[in-house]
Amino acid sequence: MMRSLLLLLAIVAIFATVKSMPSGCEDTCSALDFEARVFIERESELLRQRRRQDFIAAYNYNINVTEANRQTMINVATANAVLNKELAPELQKYLDKIDDEDLLRQARILSNVGFDALSEKDYKELKNAITAMQSNYATTTVCSFFNKSDCSLTLEPHIQERLSNSRDPEELKHYWKEWYDKAGTPMRKNFTKYVQLSSKAAHLNNFMSYADYWLHFYEDNEFEENLDAAYKAILPLYRAIHAYVRHRLNEHYGNVTVPDNGNIPMHLLGNMWAQNWDEAMELYTPYPEVPFLDVTSEMEKQNYTVEKMFQLGDEFFKSLNMRPLPESFWNLSVLKRPTDRPIVCHASAWDMLQDSDVRIKMCTEVDTHYLYVVHHELGHIQYYLQYENQPVAYRSSANPGFHEAVGDVIALSVSTPKHLKTIGLSPTGQLDAKRRINELFKTALKKVVFLPFAYTLDKYRYSVFRDEIDESTWNCAFWRMRSMFTGVEPPVVRTDRDFDPPAKYHIDADVEYLRYFAAHIFQFQFYKALCTLSKQYVPNDINRPLDNCDFFNNKAAGRAFSKFLTVGNSKHWKPVLEEFTGDDEMNPAALLEYFAPLYEWLKTENKRLGAIVGWEHTDKVAPDCCPPFST
């Protein structure tokens, strides 16, 4: 009797121990692994709470850009940074000693504390520099070309509207100069401080430079080489597009405004940074005589609202059996520009790390460009929801490029004639040869043109962070690199008295940009995988081409996509990518396959037109400014 009672007690005790053990330790765990797991689980929860606090303060600032909200955000982040920093040495104690691979990965990720490694004073100073740049970007307004006393024009929507619709080079030049003079140059001091302190933080984390700190997120020592190789692989296609566009612009504007062999003056391309060239496409449409799919006017005709655009994206994910948008998303997001206060209009998606609290903040308008951005942002949201059950260390993407690619893949599918017909935004779901080239060209003006731009933005910052460019030539170097890698130049002469990089949001906000380059390659790998799985793409079948593949409603595609996303950052990206796409590298082959018919067309057409391929000189950057880099 006594023996069976003791046995029962022992079983209860074992059961209780197993129940209170941290997850993953049910079988055999070394004592140290067990201790580490308890520690990491407890600290992860505390870290999640601190991050949530940080994000809420940052979100409140983003949706109401006031000095008070900026200060609150800095103070909350500074207090949390002190606590985060204390965690690192505790975790490092375990790093060489524990066996469990998953624990090691979590400990390694959590012990990398980034800016938090700085002293409290430095941390605050760095945050102050970054957020001062962000505030300036968010609140910069420029004067109207037609009415110089009206200086209330914002980037979104006013300036962007003029860049999209005006074809007057003088007006476009005016807005370009206004924006770069006001959003860029005054931020020089803050940018310098940012470079100094981010470099200090990188050294404290044992990295050679802040560039190497950024690159470590890719967990691949060869990633920068791979980046260079990808840029080189797409360059022939880019040069063909560049030559064609410059030729058509030269025909339209004449030799004085657009020389037929140098850089393209960037103000003519419909985008402040010339990162996409599709907004001015009517000047260089391959077949202007065939009607275009005009989605913007169709949306207007059908009285589309901003909410309807988000519902469309939600429906797409739901059709794949993926996560629907939670109720709180609709209540807590800011989807339109408020009229009573300044906000950071540059679109962003937020993971508030609790109870599926995910939000988007953006200044949506009803047009094709924003339809893309809506899907882009919803891609981030979907990822957040898919990995929400992971511990905090893993609540991000395994490769920073994955996060930026999710919504873009959906947008690729949504933009096909097939899908646009399904949702009533296009009368036809199939394209004849000429319309196909028009559509492919439009997509290339967004996707291919973007790659050299993204490449330059971070190659430039790497050079700055690695101290390869003398500070006195930072601006010239920026334009030299833009000229060299992208073949565009400013509309007016820029010198080192100007400082133009902060005219781009991600430079102010300390957002690494290689992620977008990677995403523009990965998204075609993802797209091809999903299209193949859903049998919407069959190689060499003219009825199922890659560029008219819509995987809407396909549950097999949805299953594979969800599986890929739920992993979050819990595993190295290569095997996860391989399982999803069959490839374990960032590989431009899928992108090149997608655009192959266009490339063939461009080569023939450029020859026929006598369009010069390549660019040699720039008139708008001082010739004596030569930073040490090569193509």
Catalytic-role residue among 178, 506, 520, 585:
506
Q: Is residue 565 a contact partner of residue 386, using CB atoms and an 8 Å limit?
A: yes
Q: Which is nearer to ligand X8Z, 299 or 344 (CB)?
A: 344
The SS3 call for residue 380 is: helix
Q: Which of the listed partners (ligand X8Z, Zn ion, none) does 347 bind, with a CB threshold of 5 to 8 Å by partner kind?
A: ligand X8Z
SS3 350: strand
Which of 25, 360 has the CB closer to Zn ion?
Answer: 360
Q: Which is nearer to ligand X8Z, 386 or 534 (CB)?
A: 386
Are residues 378 and 364 in contact, defined by beta-carbon separation less than 8 angstroms? Answer: no
> Which amino acid, one-letter code, is at 129?
A
Q: Is 377 a catalytic residue?
A: yes
DSSP 8-state symbol, 361: E
To Zn ion, the closest distance from the beta carbon of 376 in angstroms equals 6
Query: Is 617 part of the annotated catalytic residue set?
Result: no
Q: Which CB sits closer to Zn ion, 515 or 620?
A: 515
Residue 526: which of Zn ion, ligand X8Z, none does it interact with, CB under 5 to 8 A by kind?
Answer: none
* Closest listed residue to residue 82, CA positions, set 52, 108, 115, 128: 115
CA distance 491 to 177: 8
In angstroms, the CA 387 to CA 382 distance is 9
Helix (H/G/I), strand (E/B), else coil: 265: strand
- Buried b or exposed e, range 576-589, using 16+ CB within 10 angstroms: bbeebbebebbbbe
**Contacts with ligand X8Z, residue ranges (CB under 6 A):** 347-348, 373, 376, 516
Q: How far is the CB of 224 from ligand X8Z (least distance, A)?
A: 20
CB 438 within 8 A of CB 290: yes
- Pick from ligand X8Z, Zn ion, none: which does 39 bind, CB < 5 to 8 A by kind? none
Of the candidates 43, 178, 365, 377, the residue annotated as catalytic is: 377
Minimum CB separation from ligand X8Z for residue 266, in Å? 15
Instruction: Name which of ligand X8Z, Zn ion, none residue 373 binds, using a CB cut-off of 5 to 8 Å depending on partner kind.
Output: ligand X8Z
From 594, 484, 578, 476, select the one nearest 237 (Cα to Cα). Answer: 594
Phi, psi at 358, each rounded to 5°? -125, 145
Which CB atom, from 230 or from 533, has the smaller least distance to ligand X8Z? 230
In 3D space, the residue among 140, 101, 454 whose CA is nearest the CA of residue 276 turns out to be: 454
| Residue 364 contacts which entry, ligand X8Z, Zn ion, none (Cβ below 5-8 A, type-dependent) | none
Give the footprint of Zn ion on this chain (CB under 5 A).
Answer: 404
Interatomic CA distance for residues 376 and 360, integer angstroms: 11
> What does 106 bind: Zn ion, ligand X8Z, none (CB cut-off 5 to 8 Å by kind)?
none
Burial class (CB in 10 A: 0-12, 13-18, 19+), 385: buried
Phi (first) and psi of residue 334, to 5 degrees: -120, 105
Shortest separation between residue 214's beta carbon and ligand X8Z, angstroms: 16
Residue 573 beta carbon to ligand X8Z: minimum distance, rounded to whole angstroms: 18
| Cis amide leading into 157 (omega within 30) | yes
Nearer to Zn ion, 375 or 436 (CB): 375
Identify the residue whose tokens are 């794949």: 320
Select from Zn ion, ligand X8Z, none the partner in contact with residue 516, using the beta carbon and a kind-dependent cut-off of 5 to 8 Å.
ligand X8Z
Q: Tokens at residue 436, please?
A: 């196909």
Shortest CB 397 distance to Zn ion, Å: 11
Q: In whole angstroms, give the CA distance from residue 448 to residue 58.
A: 33
Chain residue whose CB lies nearest ligand X8Z: 347
* Pair 172, 125: CB distance under 8 Å: no
Beta carbon of residue 380, minimum distance to ligand X8Z (angstroms, whole number): 7
Which lies closer to ligand X8Z via its Cβ, residue 47 or residue 281?
281
Q: Which residues does the annotation mark as catalytic? A: 377, 506
